[in-house]
Chain A
Amino acid sequence: MQPKSRFKKPVAYYGWIGVFFLVLFALCGALYYSTLKIDYVWRWYRIPRYFIYEENVETKAFIDGEVERISRQDNTTSILVKGPTNQEVYTVEHGGLRVAEGDLIYPGDVLASYSRRRPGILIQGLWLTLKVSLIAIVFGVLIGLFGGIARISHNPAFKWLAITYIELIRGSPLLVQIFIWYFVLGTLINTLLARNNLYQISPLWFGVAALACFAGAYVAEIVRAGIQSIHRGQTEAARSLGMTYAQCMIHVILPQATRRILPPLAGQFISLIKDSSLLGIIAIRELTKATREVVTTSLQPFELWFICAILYLMLTFALSMFVQYLERRAVVT
């Protein structure tokens, strides 16, 4: 049905589009107006530094002596400083050279300095959110794949284990699960590791584990539904040709189920990215925690929380685009 044809006059249709923008602007305007009322000063110009900042890097001399030679290589410049008893070579970037051949040098003199751009705290947080989410997605899919297959297995051990896992995870809040992973399992595992003089596992991995197990339970249900949606005749045809259960799954059922699994899976991935914002409570400095830290130092909460939301939106949008691309590919092949 053409959306326009629902309206008798095209004017009405465009009129309602106008209403849409009007409402949008009115909401933004109301927000802005009320911030003025409480004397909030918007300082957007303070935001970029949390994305990227300039860091000054200085190369200082350790000995006294004379600059004997300055030679340029492909990517770097070498400064040879010759002292009365010893000599040293300093390798610096091109440009920013503060000395010339023949200069006298004392310890602590700046030989070269240059500034470089570094990712700011928000970008670091964004990167960590992305990293945690992607790792959790990969493991979540693996857990979900095997969980889903176990769920429909006729073997009671596999089946009941899968059901128990799925129901436990889906029946309790993610926040509580994160606490259990960090404070209970994390303490247990790290204490045992310490007793055996082994490395400690960082909170990051307990966070990833919590997210992966959480997503895995939902993915398992999606996988189960996807597999069961494939007609029984497909299994029968494959098995009647002598394929084993595993061969039938790998070559016949899963490729077909994938197409039906992908759309709900995309929704699950998007939830997972958003849920990763809870990991801040166990000292993982992902995007939300990074934003909170910046807010306390910058005192510009309004701008920063909007930015934070937009960054999440960009991640989830990119992900859903990627899954749509996969879907289109799955349809073609």
Chain B
Amino acid sequence: MIDVRNVYKTFFAPHEIRALVDVTTKIEAGEVVVVIGPSGSGKSTLLRCLNHLEAAESGHILIDGIDILNPKTDIDKVRAEVGMVFQSFNLFPHKTALQNITLAQRVVRKRSKDKAHEKAMFLLNKVGIADKAGVYPDQLSGGQQQRVAIARALAMDPKVMLFDEPTSALDPEMIGEVLEVMKTLAREGMTMVVVTHEMGFAREVADRVIFMDEGAIVEVGTPEHFFTSPTHERTKLFLSQIL
């Protein structure tokens, strides 16, 4: 489903930072991969490269067989297949919860008003806030906003969902409701790449955990492997700090 080969990414402003260094990994359809690592290790950059919000400078990134680094690729088409959920929700503040979910269905998928509406209501039900359909984002709690954002991404019927620290901006009592939605998705077989510090989620849901440090993938393994017998020193150090 996702094939990342020898990807490099360097930022030059304000000073040179090697954000991704020779990253290679493969994510199969239906797999849930959790990416962990210290701050600044390149987790977000990797995720953002996967839907080309950030352009990797070399290597190959294949999404469902399509090389998104090929300039001839219609990136908008690929992005419609790759849902993304941001740490800061990024809901459209001038649109209601419902309109947030229908907008891209209408303009990208060209669905009819009724179809888009129906789909949006189905998804709002699924994330448990159908009663907030007509409410503007600034009147929703963080947890509710993030669930709308997940519904917005799901409305495009994506093949992959990317989550960049979806619960980091939330008050503790709201983290559960968002993780619950994500667990349901995982159970339904959605391919997911999740950057998170929620180790409980990783342990329970992940098929694989990727540990990154200084732009490189240091260690990959099952959750049991990670939480019982990590091999690398840096992994051990990181886990000891976070657990």
Contact = CB atoms under 8 A, between A and B. Distances in A.
Interface of A: 231, 233-234, 236-244, 247, 251-252, 255-256, 333
Per DSSP, are chain B's interface residues mostly helix, strand or loop, or mixed?
Answer: mixed
Contact of A237 (B77, B81, B82, B92): B92
Contacts of A255: 94
Contacts of B104: 238, 241-243
A241 B149 CA distance: 11
Nearest to B78: A242
Contacts of B88: 233
A240 B75 CA distance: 10
A236 B94 contact: no
B17 interface: no
Given A236-B53, A241-B156, A243-B107, A252 B92 contact: yes
B53 A241 contact: no
Contacts of B152: 237, 241
Interface string B87-103: 01011111000000001
B80 A236 contact: no
Given A247-B108, A255-B94, A237 B76 contact: no
B84 A240 contact: yes
B51 interface: yes
B90 A237 contact: yes
Nearest to B155: A241
Contact of B76 (A233, A244, A252): A244
B182 interface: no
Given A239-B79, A241-B80, A242-B80, A234 B92 contact: yes
Nearest to B82: A240
Nearest to A247: B107
Nearest to A240: B84
Interface in B114-151: 149
28 contacts: A233-B86, A233-B90, A234-B92, A236-B86, A237-B84, A237-B86, A237-B90, A237-B149, A238-B104, A239-B53, A240-B51, A240-B79, A240-B82, A240-B153, A241-B79, A241-B80, A241-B153, A241-B156, A242-B79, A242-B81, A243-B76, A243-B104, A243-B107, A244-B76, A247-B108, A251-B107, A252-B103, A256-B92
A240 B152 CA distance: 11
Per DSSP, are chain A's interface residues mostly helix, strand or loop, or mixed?
Answer: helix
Contacts of B51: 240
Interface residues of B, number: 25
A256 B91 CA distance: 12
Interface string B12-25: 00000000000000
Contacts of B93: 256
B81 to A, nearest CB: 8
Given A237-B92, A256-B93, A242 B108 contact: yes
A134 B103 CA distance: 33
Interface in B59-91: 76-77, 79-84, 86, 88, 90-91
Contacts of B90: 231, 233-234, 236-237
A231 B92 CA distance: 11
A9 B91 CA distance: 51
A255 B103 CA distance: 13
Interface in B159-208: none
Contacts of A256: 92-94
